[in-house]
Each structure stands twice: as C-alpha cells, then as structure tokens.
Structure 1
Amino acid sequence: MFLEFFMRTGLRVLLGLTAAAALTVGGSTAASADAAATGWKWGPIHSTDGHATAKGKVVVTQSALQIRGSLSDTRGKGCSWVLLRWQSSGNGKWSSAGYWNCTPGTGTFRKNVAHPLQIKAKVCRGNSSRPTGRCTSWKTVYTQGG
C-alpha cells in the first residue's frame, strides 16, 4: 500500500515538473533567457571625468564566455569608450577590443571570448577614432575559478 501511494505521489510530482518545464521552454523569450544566463556582474566603471560609464555581465554561452555590457555617454561632446582585454588560458596571450558611444545615452556591446583566464576593462573619453584620455586604470571583471 505504501509503495502504491509513493508511486502515485511521485508520478504527480513528475507530471507537475514536466508541465513546468514545458511551460518554461514554450514560453521563454530572448529577454528572459538573457536575464537568466549564468554569469558574473561587473561595474559600473566610470571614466575619471565621470562622463562615461560601463557595466555588464560575463555570461556562459555554448562555446565560450561572452562579455555583455552597456556604455553610457553623458556629454554631447566627445565619445565614451570601454576597452576590454582578456588573457587566453590556452597560450597566455592577451587580446583586446574597444567599443565606443558618441551619442548621449546608453549603447550596448557583446564580445565572445574563448576560455579566458581573466578579463579586464577600462573606461575612457575620446573621439570617434580612439580613446584620448580620462581613463580609469584596468579593472578585473572576471577571473577563472574566482
């Protein structure tokens, strides 16, 4: 009798979990998937003059890690820059990328990085070609295993 009760109860729980999983998969959106992504938040990091701000998240994707973020510019003159550096766990070499926003408001960026040991970011002011100053020091936004 106990076994029969246990099996009926277990079956109801299993059916409930299956239905919940089906609703989650069927009703998921890109926004909810983005919000639920496993990751590590970083920032905000401000330029030394306070007119540029970057913040974001390092998330796990199927093939690598992805640096996601937003870059805000509070002035109409000049541009905000975020510079990213990451060290490969395979060969120890550093790679880099830069993103800019030249309009007041907030823009977004994404960068896939394969198996980094660490990721660093700095925020600067500049023009549409390059950062020109008002940079922070490099801030570590991700470290493997920590």
Structure 2
Amino acid sequence: MRTGFRVLLGLTAAAALTLAGSTAASAETAATAATASASSWKWGPIHSTDGHATAKGKVVVTQHSLQVRGSLSDTRGKGCSWVVLRWQSSGNGKWSSAGYWNCTPGTGTFRKNVGAPLQIKAKVCRGNSSRPTGWCTSWKTIYTQGG
C-alpha cells in the first residue's frame, strides 16, 4: 500500500510540475504579445476639413527614441496636403514641430524621430509647396506618455 501511495504521489507531483510549466509558458507568451503590441501605437486617420488630405500612421519605439511614421494622401491635383507634427520634450517641456507635404495625387510616407516626448500632436491641412494655407483640423493627440 505504501509503495502504491508513493507512486501515486510521484505522478501527482510530476503532473503538477508539467501543468505549472505550461502555465508559465502561456504567461510568457502572453507577456511577449503584450510587449509587442505596446511597442507601437496606431493613430489616425485624420482628414483635412475639406476632405482632400488624409494622414495616418503609428508611433514606434526605436532603439533610442520614439518615431512617428505615417502616410499622407492627397486626393486633388491642385494644391498640397500637409501634416504638421508637434511634440513636447519630457526633458525641458519645450515644444518642437515638423511639417511634411505631398503635392501629387496619391500617398507619400514620412518618418520623424521625436526623442522621448510627453505628448505628440498632429493636424492635417491643405496648402502649397511652401506652407499650409488652410482647411486645417484642430490638433489631435496621437501619443501621450503613460497612456
């Protein structure tokens, strides 16, 4: 009877260890998936107020900073589509900005390294090849640190 109990106890312990190992592996897989999804945040689409310019993209964690990646579409041959980015530095609180334009019908892409910002905002406008001139959206927050 004692031998049978020892064998049964040994099998129960082996089954428990196997179950714990598979649970740990499942938790590790879930954590890896969560980390992968937390390494980029989608934003957009944002349309100009006249509907002829559209921007969308994602904020991606790179090795040294965050990077805004996106596409800017122009549906009209006359004028240009603009996306203007603003970001607030987490180091000194100052705002910086950059603008990208597309003056041909179709879609173009852009990338901008923004360091470690507290927040990033974007707006989409119509304009000419040197600056946005109108039909702008209000500023849309596309990333906020911590949430």
TM-score (norm 2): 0.76
2:71 is aligned to 70
1:113 is aligned to 114
Q: 1:77-129 CA deviation, whole Å, 9 max, x = no partner?
A: 00000000000000000000000000000000000011100000000000000
1:137 equivalent to 2:124? Answer no
Q: Higher Cα Rg: structure 1 or 2?
A: 2
- Asked if the contact 1:37–1:59 (Cα under 8 Å) also holds between the matched residues in 2, the reply is no
Q: 1:35-66 CA deviation, whole Å, 9 max, x = no partner?
A: 98920000000000000000000000000000
| Letter paired with 1:62 | Q
TM-score (norm 1): 0.76
1:48 is aligned to 49
Unaligned runs of 5+ in 2: 1-9, 23-35
> RMSD of the TM alignment (CA)?
2.4
1:93 is aligned to 94
Separation of aligned partners in 2, 1:43 and 1:36:
17
1:58 equivalent to 2:52? Answer no
Separation of aligned partners in 2, 1:116 and 1:129:
27
Shift of 1:75: 0.1
- The list of structure 1 runs, each at least 4 consecutive aligned residues, that deviate by more than 3 angstroms after superposition, is none
Separation of aligned partners in 2, 1:55 and 1:62:
22
Q: 1:145 to 1:70 in 2, by over 3 A?
A: same
Separation of aligned partners in 1, 2:95 and 2:37:
29
Separation of aligned partners in 1, 2:142 and 2:50:
21
Q: What is the aligned-residue identity percentage?
A: 87
| Letter paired with 2:88 | Q
How many residues align? The count is 127
2:27 is aligned to none
Unaligned runs of 5+ in 1: 4-8, 14-34
Separation of aligned partners in 1, 2:49 and 2:41:
24
